[in-house]
Chains A and B, each alone.
Chain A
Amino acid sequence: MISVKNLSYSYSNDEKLAVKNISFEISKGETFGFLGPSGAGKSTTQGILTGLLKHQMGDVMVAGYDMKKVQNERFNKIGVSFEQSNVYSKLTALENLKYYADLFDGPTRDPHELLKIVGLDGRENDRAGEFSKGMKHRLTFARSMINNPELWFLDEPTTGLDPAIAATIKDIIRAEKAKGTTSFLTTHNMYIADELCDRVAFIIDGEIKLIDTPKSLKQKYGKKLVEVEYVKEGQLYKETLKTVEDADRQKIADIVKSYDIQTMHSKEATLEEIFIQVTGRELI
């Protein structure tokens, strides 16, 4: 569905690259995650793949179209949800969706149904300008599904949403995946990447550090961890220690011997911990 070879991009059209020589393939039906801290180049990559940013270097094929050429009809197959919501504030939620639906050639989805699944039912006739940030984001997200896209771009789909709504959004993405929709998803939230993506790419400073499935990453990099909470001099401390390292093993023994243990359990390494191991940087 997407094939990217040696893609680079510079906003200033010089050597300062926001995306550096990246390559990856996404097959049909796959949910592919771009995981990286803010400023890594995730949105820039999405911008090039959707044609919003002008193609500069490398070979990019999206949904069978070569991105070096401009072919507007390809958008009939593509849905794009933006990191920053962008809806007409003077139109109502319903008018926003109806207008957008009319711009596509194929069959489109029922706006009422879409508003319902993102939890905006009852607010159909309110102007988007009166919506909270989270509601606008949901409207933008709902709009990206209006043309039944085969290929779906999701830039930070849950960022800034409260947990209950984020859970709804995750369910919708899972349901679309079950229908066979291919998704390109960017996030700096490792839970999202872990829960939703078939494969993830770690991206930092415009470079892809690795691409793998979350499961295989955990097998390769994940070491057994023990998370312990204990009270020392009246204060609560929390530490995560590796059971495979001697220094950590010794520390666990010391803690158990000397302090009052509140909780203690073993756990798998998270994608975030693996990210830090691989890139030496945190996901912020």
Chain B
Amino acid sequence: MMKKIIRIFRKDATIATRDAMLIYIIVIPILLAIGILFFAPGVTDSAVKVAMFESDAPAHIEYMENYVQVEQFDSMKEIERRVGKRDDVVGIVPVNEGYEIIVEGNEDQSAIESAEVLNTLFELGATRENTTAEILDFGKTVPPLKTKLVNMLILMVIMLAGMIISLGIVEEKSDNTISAMNVTPVSQNGFIIGKSLLGGFVALGSIVVALLIMGYFDINWLMILLVGLTSMILTFVIGFIQGLGSDDVIEAAAGVKMTMLPIAGSIAGYELLADKWQWTMYWSPFYWAYKANDLILSKAADWGTVLICIAAVTGLSMAIYFISIPKIRKGLS
């Protein structure tokens, strides 16, 4: 049976190379990854941003720029306004002989500490050459905005995988080949698995390539791939149902795009809701996937938490799968 499943996958891959839409879907995530890398250079810079006076000592500004993103202002008012904005910016202003750190209070603690430590190092006369990299690592190596963009990209890839499946099913439908499949020794389960492989491999491949392009070499790959695989269950179910219910490519793609809604909702929920309201998102497998990816990408994940997320994604997706399977089976016969 395994051989036949692989054969179905190989056939789908051959067809994919001849379908403009599929090639498009496969290439998009890679292009987006490159886009994030090149057109938003700030994103890949340090997580820590500081606001300083333009009139500060050039050596001081230059020193800080070696390690963090420095924004320069010419009045105290402007610095305070900048610090008051939503993102994590720490103000460093000269007072008397030394410097004062200005914070809003809601900044990431590590950002504040980083700015403080850096500034102290400057005052102590430490240079890049006589400082070890570890000191400047501050425990938080990956900038949060980049993590979030990459995380969104991963969920998008998973949605696209559902679209690939949907298109593959529409292809079989329009050629009327499902009836031909049904008079071979291949079981319906074998067919379903075979038809899932292309979407699965493409998605995993795109995730790996996108992560490598953006420089995530030393994350926990096993965790990322496990979360990726489990979050695909749901988009696959949606892909099958949409494919079977649609008569053409556009209709199928539009249907799968609807999963954007819960995905975007889950991301927004995770990012914006206060801790005590996070539970309102627990119904969404995408919420758990996003959460797990967030921890893994910022290298703050432990297996316990990740496994809880994976279990939640799997459990919720499987529930939807079992509710939908009679519908899928009916559509395939």
Residues of A within 8 A of B (CB): 50-52, 54, 72-76, 78, 80, 82, 84, 86-91, 95, 99-100, 102-105, 127, 140, 143
Task: Assess whether A95 is in contact with B14, with CB atoms less than 8 Å apart.
Answer: yes
Which of the 9-residue segments B103-111, B181-189, B272-280 touches chain A? B181-189
C-alpha spacing A103/B10, complex, angstroms: 12
The answer to whether the Cβ of B71 comes within 8 Å of any Cβ in the partner chain is no
Contacts of A99 in B (CB 8 A): 7, 11
Contacts of A51 in B (CB 8 A): 182-183
Task: Assess whether B11 is in contact with A88, with CB atoms less than 8 Å apart.
Answer: yes
Task: Assess whether B175 is in contact with A86, with CB atoms less than 8 Å apart.
Answer: yes
Task: Assess whether B185 is in contact with A100, with CB atoms less than 8 Å apart.
Answer: no
The answer to whether the Cβ of B180 comes within 8 Å of any Cβ in the partner chain is yes
C-alpha spacing A76/B184, complex, angstroms: 7
Distance in Å from the Cβ of B255 to the closest Cβ of chain A?
Answer: 22
Q: What are 27 pairs between A and B in contact, CB < 8 Å?
A: A51-B183, A52-B183, A72-B184, A72-B185, A72-B187, A73-B185, A75-B183, A75-B184, A75-B185, A78-B183, A82-B180, A84-B176, A86-B177, A88-B171, A89-B175, A90-B14, A90-B15, A95-B14, A99-B11, A100-B180, A100-B184, A102-B3, A102-B4, A102-B7, A103-B7, A103-B184, A104-B184
The 5 A-B residue pairs whose C-beta atoms are closest, nearest first, are A86-B176, A103-B184, A80-B183, A102-B7, A90-B15
Interface centre among B19, B181, B183, B186 (most CB of A within 10 A): B183
Contacts of A80 in B (CB 8 A): 180, 183
Contacts of A50 in B (CB 8 A): 183
Distance in Å from the Cβ of B137 to the closest Cβ of chain A?
Answer: 52
Residues of B within 8 A of A (CB): 3-4, 7, 11, 14-15, 18-19, 171, 175-177, 179-187, 333
Q: A54-B333, A103-B4, A103-B7 are in contact. Are A87 and B183 (CB under 8 A)?
A: no
Residue of B nearest to A136 (CB): B175
C-alpha spacing A102/B10, complex, angstroms: 11
C-alpha spacing A78/B88, complex, angstroms: 69
Contacts of A88 in B (CB 8 A): 11, 15, 171, 175, 177
Distance in Å from the Cβ of B179 to the closest Cβ of chain A?
Answer: 6
Distance in Å from the Cβ of A111 to the closest Cβ of chain B?
Answer: 14
Distance in Å from the Cβ of B241 to the closest Cβ of chain A?
Answer: 20
Residue of A nearest to B6 (CB): A102
Residue of B nearest to A74 (CB): B185
Contacts of A74 in B (CB 8 A): 185
C-alpha spacing A99/B175, complex, angstroms: 15
Q: A89-B175, A104-B185 are in contact. Are A143 and B14 (CB under 8 A)?
A: no
Contacts of B4 in A (CB 8 A): 102-103
Q: A50-B183, A51-B182, A78-B183 are in contact. Are A91 and B14 (CB under 8 A)?
A: yes
Distance in Å from the Cβ of B249 to the closest Cβ of chain A?
Answer: 12
Task: Assess whether A91 is in contact with B180, with CB atoms less than 8 Å apart.
Answer: no
Contacts of A84 in B (CB 8 A): 176
- Of the candidates B171, B176, B182, B185, which one forms a contact with A76 in the assembled complex, judged by CB atoms under 8 Å apart? B185
Q: A73-B185, A88-B15 are in contact. Are A143 and B176 (CB under 8 A)?
A: no
Contacts of B3 in A (CB 8 A): 102
C-alpha spacing A100/B14, complex, angstroms: 14
With A87-B180, A103-B184 given, can you name 12 additional A-B contacts, CB distance below 8 Å?
A: A51-B182, A52-B183, A54-B333, A76-B185, A78-B183, A90-B15, A90-B171, A91-B14, A102-B3, A102-B7, A103-B186, A104-B184
Task: Assess whether A90 is in contact with B19, with CB atoms less than 8 Å apart.
Answer: yes
Task: Assess whether A86 is in contact with B185, with CB atoms less than 8 Å apart.
Answer: no
Contacts of B184 in A (CB 8 A): 72, 75, 100, 103-104
Residue of B nearest to A92 (CB): B14
Task: Assess whether B180 is in contact with A86, with CB atoms less than 8 Å apart.
Answer: yes
Distance in Å from the Cβ of B54 to the closest Cβ of chain A?
Answer: 62
